[in-house]
């Protein structure tokens, strides 16, 4: 699937069920759909998958539309787009909330004019204009965030962004700065991290392993944000 839909579903299995553009009207319990499809539909094999924000942004609005669909609009200033997540089963964010790549927006559902569980993804430019084709935008215009070190650091922290070596045997990589955030599994680490884990541990450990070196872009208390997620810097040494 496209880069953007993989980011939204954190690589969980999904597939395009209806492309952007003209299509036949579909009859649903909530009414008929229009003859132009202003987004891309992604099926999830009936699963209520979690949908995530794709990078730093803000929840513009969320709630229930007049057709009964639960939705979330997220703005991404760096990308100059806002994204509409439609037909959600549940919403996990609030209007005005700041989000990052690991913020759960809601779960995939079939609220509103829908015949099955799917995500309808709509994209508009923040600079104006109507809906654009999400798959085409992902392929032709989307660019991943740069890897330059961030300057944001908590003034009260003893740590600074930079390069760190892992000193713990296995160090959990989490979706946020704290032990209340979800642990990532081996397959959810970056390609570079997976290669290092294999090299230093010799097996597919679910986290960073002793001897690995990683870049910390941002510090929050004793936690550091690396390409694969957040780690406790108390179990690392600065290089």
Binding region for Zn ion (CB under 5 A)? 39, 41, 120
Could you tell me the smallest distance in angstroms from the CB atom of residue 104 to Zn ion? Answer: 21
Nearer to Zn ion, 67 or 165 (CB): 67
Please compute Rg for the chain using Cα positions.
20
Could you tell me the smallest distance in angstroms from the CB atom of residue 139 to Zn ion? Answer: 19
Question: In this structure, are strands 31-32 and 70-76 parallel, antiparallel, or unpaired?
Answer: unpaired
Nearer to Zn ion, 117 or 209 (CB): 117
Nearer to Zn ion, 116 or 162 (CB): 116
Q: Which residue is nearest to Zn ion (CB)?
A: 120
Nearer to Zn ion, 28 or 97 (CB): 28
Could you tell me the smallest distance in angstroms from the CB atom of residue 53 to Zn ion? Answer: 20
Q: Could you give the CA distance from residue 49 to residue 150 in angstroms, rounded to a whole number?
A: 31
Question: In this structure, are strands 57-64 and 98-99 parallel, antiparallel, or unpaired?
Answer: antiparallel
Contacts of 148 (CB under 8 A, 6+ apart): none
Nearer to Zn ion, 39 or 134 (CB): 39
Nearer to Zn ion, 42 or 208 (CB): 42
Nearest to 150 by CA among 219, 103, 100, 102: 219
Cα separation values, 72 from 75, 93, 177, 202, Å: 10, 8, 24, 42
CA distance between the termini of the chain: 37
Could you tell me the smallest distance in angstroms from the CB atom of residue 112 to Zn ion? Answer: 10
Could you tell me the smallest distance in angstroms from the CB atom of residue 115 to Zn ion? Answer: 11
Please report the sign of the dihedral spanned by the C-alpha atoms of residue 233, residue 236, residue 237, residue 238. Answer: negative
CA angle 151, 73, 94 (to 5 degrees): 75
């Amino acid at each position: 699937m496209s880069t953007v839909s993989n980011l939204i579903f954190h690589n969980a299995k999904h597939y395009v069920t209806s492309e952007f553009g003209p299509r036949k009207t579909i009859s649903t319990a909530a009414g008929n759909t229009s003859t132009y499809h202003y987004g891309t539909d992604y099926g999830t094999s009936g699963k209520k998958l979690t949908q995530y924000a794709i990078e730093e942004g803000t929840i513009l609005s969320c709630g229930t539309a007049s057709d009964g669909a639960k939705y979330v609009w997220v703005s991404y200033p760096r990308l100059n787009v806002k994204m509409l997540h439609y037909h959600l089963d549940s919403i996990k964010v609030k209007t005005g909330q700041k989000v990052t790549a690991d913020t759960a927006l809601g779960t995939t559902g079939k609220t509103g004019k829908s015949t099955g569980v799917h995500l309808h993804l709509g994209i508009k430019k923040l600079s104006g204009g109507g809906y654009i084709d999400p798959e085409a935008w992902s392929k032709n215009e989307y660019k991943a965030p740069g890897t330059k070190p961030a300057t944001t650091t908590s003034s009260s922290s003893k740590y600074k962004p930079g390069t760190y070596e892992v000193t713990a045997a296995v160090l959990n990589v989490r979706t946020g700065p704290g032990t209340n955030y979800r642990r990532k599994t081996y397959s959810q680490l970056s390609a570079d991290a997976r290669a290092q884990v294999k090299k230093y541990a010799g097996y597919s450990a679910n986290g960073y392993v002793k001897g690995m070196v990683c870049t910390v872009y941002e510090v929050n208390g004793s936690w550091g944000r690396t390409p694969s997620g957040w780690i406790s810097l108390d179990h690392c040494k600065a290089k």
